[in-house]
Structure 1
């Protein structure tokens, strides 16, 4: 019977999947090594298990010991799975840049998670590198794996990822494209493939804000290259020992926005629900398409699963807040708002003074008037000002006596360009109803912001 003894035996032998739509304008065949098929949903399962096995063999990790590692989430998951099977404890140190889903998943498999600030220097006592080193000294019977400088990281890919790709392509691979972080995946895989065929091109994809690309091009570690970036799981602010730059042919940088948008396209056009690095990997390839020929066979490594990023790149509001998602309709503008933002309304029989107070409290200029759930009119700051200026006592009147015509009600999918024509000097807002029957309001400022982003 084909029965695995434990979850660790399912690591590796992940599929190559052809890309058909996103890469249709490229002159060659592009396939993805989809490593979210690993049990921990990422390629890091490979190196996590290898690092643990080496640590055991060298006597650095003893029975009942504690695994300590700084991780963006995926390496931690691989180590956590191994720890469950082999009986170790885990303490993982991560940064506040990583998605909440990653930390929650690590906790679900029994790990302790410590979150540190991302925007500090590597040698800062508060950095996740420094905290992991300190914990390794303080916690009895513990071992800090240090995936960045632990060469078992790249050895895992030399022994598994590289051979799998070579066999799956029958040795016909011409290009390997892979995001670069700790250096283990790109270096270990490249070392094996270059031994098989030195002409295979290795393209490493980096992010703006990382110093890896400039170091590759000049040999200079330039701290001025380092600045905060949103992309997760790749890019570095130092050079990990796992790198062997001699087996890499090119570094290419992509923006946070382009990587995020491309990841969403992979899900919608190829059915591959992948993480941030997969989108950045394909974006980097597209930027280098001029170097490809018809006979080429490109293998792109997709590191992890999109479930790690549902609160980020797969969340419309998160994308819009960062200007990563084009706003096209009434619905898009509403989805870009905090979920706690509710429509402020008033009743025709409420006093005008209440309308004034609502405008002050919520810093708004337009309030729809509702009577028994139906839109019956509107109050605007400009219109109210004119009436109060003419008659100060009007504040004691009911809203019904001063309200203006109701704001237009439009379809929830009305394009932003159409909204622009409906909002005028006389009419400062429009209303729309969502699928649940709830009304939402959009003002001229919402439209200006949407068109300007």
Structure 2
């Protein structure tokens, strides 16, 4: 058996039991692995459905251009379908999205315009507004409008919901998914509730989003809106695809808990899942007391981990945001593991001979070079040797004439891996400057000593 094209492989994704990340949950928890779709996300389903419905309605004509504001996954689904069907794509996205997502869209020939995150949806710079403007300006174009295009929900009503019902033999008791456009949970949830009204539909929201409060109070509170890191869920407006009558409860999850759980899924379950998947599992753990032993919970794993290699799967990225405990050696721990040392610098107007004498008397191999108190370069034994070999009279030259580029600067939380990557034959040390202006030098020997403790 074979498929006529890649679009025919969308759907029929597997359910996989989670065993370790759900420790403490009495219920059986199954993950719907939507990364098995050709674009590695659940958005492939609704992207194709929106295109097919637009074609039937005459909105999308041969040779046309598909325009959409997307965080990446919908764009990927649209781009793949466009390749097969012969359309062009222009996508707008936000500067919050991972570079991997943007690069992936461009790999399929799409044009991607990156817009600022921290602006109102109505702002002409927002990715919503820019996509709408392009739709007006580009001839023979169609905007998918995933937030308000009800083909989004319908795709999940027709596909995802029935698949879950069949795969669980109608025993599913809870469906849990992140809510961004709302199409996944509203569509699949509506189908499942039609089969069994007692099935609970839980939506995962994020802090900085309006969904939870609106569901509970009916109030759209702009004070709830602020920037957040978690990708793919939450919004600062109410998409038409979010059916609040279908979704029984919204649970908010912090950026930190979402990011760390994303990594746990890979490390404990062997499933390379995206950021919103971490949010879903973390949210489910927060609600575990509401679950019984005979419950059967299905969680949606929306997209793939490859979209987040530079973010949630990057230790330095996590550490910079305070999400990762200081479990590994950093510049701070390197300094704590050595005796107090007062850094020695030399002025650029001094002679090379003075640098030789300083290096010899202190038994060191390099010196940061300063000018009016600012580090402007370095002079090392190698620099001195090279200059003397070229010109024995260089001993009387100013250091500024033979110095090389300064050592790289790091901060107190820089990891030992990052510091090591900066060390080379041209940079035998790095510099660290505190807020009070105090400066330290970290050498290769300091790194070796810290690793030997």
Indicate yes or no: 2:328 matched with 1:315: no
Output one character per residue of 1:265-289: Cα deviation in whole Å (capped at 9) or x when no partner.
Answer: 0010101111100000000000000
* 8 Å contact from structure 2 (residues 76, 104) kept in 1: yes
What is the total number of aligned residue pairs between the two structures? Answer: 377
* 8 Å contact from structure 2 (residues 368, 375) kept in 1: no
Indicate yes or no: 2:203 matched with 1:204: yes
Indicate yes or no: 2:232 matched with 1:227: no
In structure 1, what is the Cα distance between the partners aligned to 2:67 and 2:267?
37
| CA drift at 1:439 | 3.9
Counting only pairs closer than 5 Å after superposition, residues 333-344 of structure 1 correspond to structure 2 as: none
Question: Closer, same or farther in 2 for the Cα pair 1:202/1:334, shift >3 Å?
Answer: farther
| CA drift at 1:330 | 1.1
**Secondary structure at 2:233's aligned position in 1?**
coil
Specify the alignment match of 2:258 in structure 1: 259
Specify the alignment match of 1:159 in structure 2: 158
| CA drift at 1:25 | 1.4
**Secondary structure at 1:143's aligned position in 2?**
strand
Question: Closer, same or farther in 2 for the Cα pair 1:64/1:216, shift >3 Å?
Answer: same
Output one character per residue of 1:398-451: Cα deviation in whole Å (capped at 9) or x when no partner.
Answer: xxxxxxxxxxxxxx79xxxxxxxxxxxxxx989796xxx994798xxxxxxxxx
Q: TM-score, normalised by structure 1?
A: 0.77
* 8 Å contact from structure 2 (residues 32, 299) kept in 1: yes
**Secondary structure at 1:113's aligned position in 2?**
strand
In structure 1, what is the Cα distance between the partners aligned to 2:96 and 2:332?
25
Q: TM-score, normalised by structure 2?
A: 0.77
In structure 2, what is the Cα distance between the partners aligned to 1:151 and 1:354?
66
In structure 1, what is the Cα distance between the partners aligned to 2:99 and 2:234?
20
Specify the alignment match of 1:357 in structure 2: 370
| CA drift at 1:328 | 1.4
Counting only pairs closer than 5 Å after superposition, residues 84-99 of structure 1 correspond to structure 2 as: 84-99=83-98
What is the Cα-based RMSD across aligned positions, in Å?
Answer: 3.1
**Secondary structure at 2:113's aligned position in 1?**
strand
Output one character per residue of 1:186-219: Cα deviation in whole Å (capped at 9) or x when no partner.
Answer: 1001000000000001110000000111111111
Indicate yes or no: 2:82 matched with 1:63: no
Specify the alignment match of 1:449 in structure 2: none
Specify the alignment match of 1:238 in structure 2: 237
Question: Closer, same or farther in 2 for the Cα pair 1:354/1:61, shift >3 Å?
Answer: same
Unmatched 5+ stretches in structure 1: 336-343, 373-411, 414-427, 443-453
* 8 Å contact from structure 2 (residues 10, 45) kept in 1: yes
In structure 2, what is the Cα distance between the partners aligned to 1:429 and 1:89?
54
* 8 Å contact from structure 1 (residues 432, 441) kept in 2: no
Question: Closer, same or farther in 2 for the Cα pair 1:68/1:290, shift >3 Å?
Answer: same
**Secondary structure at 1:69's aligned position in 2?**
strand
In structure 2, what is the Cα distance between the partners aligned to 1:33 and 1:432?
49
| CA drift at 1:360 | 4.5
